[in-house]
Structure formats: structure tokens, C-alpha cells
């Protein structure tokens, strides 16, 4: 009988230890930050940050860059970001129309949700939906220009959460 209080004390101390370690473990995982890296265009001089475990492809052309979420990552959003830069020869309105025409011919069931001007590093934004291989997606293109070139920062994603794509697009510095 005398061992019961001792046993309860040991169980209580063990329970407190387990609770404390689980709280510490949760707070550590919540405060861990993912590692990001920066891509710098040697031709146009812009930079964009992206998660280090995402894929960067600069092989298509010197004016085109792709950043894709890793296919092996089941917790990552499906997202593809592309940056297209070109010499400035069109007005922003003409450049926007070229972008819209390209998208409407590239994406089945392309539909513009919104299209409007912005103040800041981007001068125009186009938000759209599309269907590709029986998958509904959403896209957003930020259009702008510097004194040397025009650019489009576009992302396409599954129709669910695309906040990571937005976060990456916000790091673009012309």
C-alpha cells in the first residue's frame, strides 16, 4: 500500500515530462523556417527568392526562368512560377494584350477573373482560371517594366492554396 503514492508520483512526473516535451517539440517545429535561395538574372539583373527545395530551370532561353514546387513533396502546393523578360518595345497595354492572347491560346478554358492596374513594381495584374489535363487551376500574372526591359512574373497553381506562389512572386525585384 505504501508504494502506491510513490507509483502515483512517478506517473505524475512522467506525465508532466511528456506534456512538457510535446509542447516544446510543437513550438520548435512551428518556429523552424524553411531555407530560401535567390536567383539573379545575369542578363536582366532582376532577382527572385524561392524555397531552396524547389526546382529552378534556366535552360529554355536567357529571358525565361521557371521555378517549380518539388514533385516529391506531398505537403507542398502544386505551383509553377515563370518569369519572362524582353526588351521594351511595347506599351504596357500592348504587352498586357500579348500576354492575354498567349494565355488564351495556351490554356484550355482560360477565363480572366480580374485584370487591373497596380502601383509599385508591378503595373498590371491579371488573375485567371484554366483547365489543363482535367485539372482546374488558377493563375496570376504580374506585368511591369523597367527602363531596360518588360517582364511578366506568372504563377499557375492548383485551385487550392496558392499563398506560397504569391509569397515567392512578392520577392521579385526588377
> Are 139 and 162 a contacting pair, CB within 8 Å?
no
Residues in the chain: 174
User: How deeply is 53 buried, as exposed, middle or buried, from its count of CB atoms within 10 A (0-12, 13-18, 19+)?
Assistant: middle
Residue 94: strand, helix, or coil: helix
| CA gap 136, 44 in Å, rounded | 33
* Beta bridge partners of residue 169, listed in sequence order: none
| CA gap 126, 139 in Å, rounded | 8
DSSP secondary structure letter of residue 173: B
Interior angle at CA 79, CA 119 and CA 102, nearest 5: 65
Helix (H) or strand (E) holding 54: none
pLDDT tens for the chain, residues 1 to 174: 555 454 344 433 343 333 333 333 333 333 346 899 999 999 999 999 999 999 999 988 889 999 998 877 666 667 899 999 998 889 999 999 999 999 999 887 899 999 999 998 899 999 999 887 777 889 999 999 998 899 999 998 877 778 888 899 999 999
Decide the pairing of beta strands 36-40 and 124-132: unpaired
| CA gap 146, 36 in Å, rounded | 25
Model's pTM, two decimal places? 0.75
| CA gap 95, 92 in Å, rounded | 5
Amino acid at each position: 500500500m505504501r508504494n502506491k503514492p510513490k507509483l502515483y508520483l512517478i506517473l505524475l512526473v512522467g506525465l508532466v515530462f511528456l506534456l512538457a516535451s510535446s509542447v516544446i517539440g510543437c513550438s520548435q517545429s512551428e518556429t523552424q523556417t524553411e531555407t530560401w535561395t535567390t536567383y539573379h538574372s545575369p542578363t536582366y539583373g532582376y532577382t527572385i527568392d524561392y524555397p531552396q527545395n524547389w526546382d529552378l530551370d534556366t535552360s529554355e532561353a536567357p529571358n525565361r526562368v521557371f521555378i517549380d514546387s518539388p514533385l516529391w513533396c506531398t505537403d507542398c502546393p502544386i505551383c509553377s512560377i515563370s518569369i519572362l523578360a524582353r526588351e521594351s518595345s511595347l506599351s504596357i497595354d500592348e504587352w498586357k494584350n500579348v500576354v492575354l492572347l498567349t494565355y488564351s491560346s495556351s490554356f484550355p478554358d482560360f477565363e480572366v477573373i480580374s485584370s487591373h492596374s497596380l502601383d509599385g513594381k508591378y503595373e498590371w495584374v491579371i488573375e485567371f482560371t484554366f483547365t489543363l489535363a482535367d485539372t482546374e487551376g488558377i493563375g496570376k500574372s504580374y506585368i511591369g517594366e523597367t527602363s531596360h526591359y518588360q517582364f511578366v512574373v506568372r504563377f499557375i497553381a492548383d485551385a487550392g492554396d496558392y499563398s506560397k506562389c504569391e509569397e515567392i512572386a512578392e520577392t521579385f525585384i526588377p
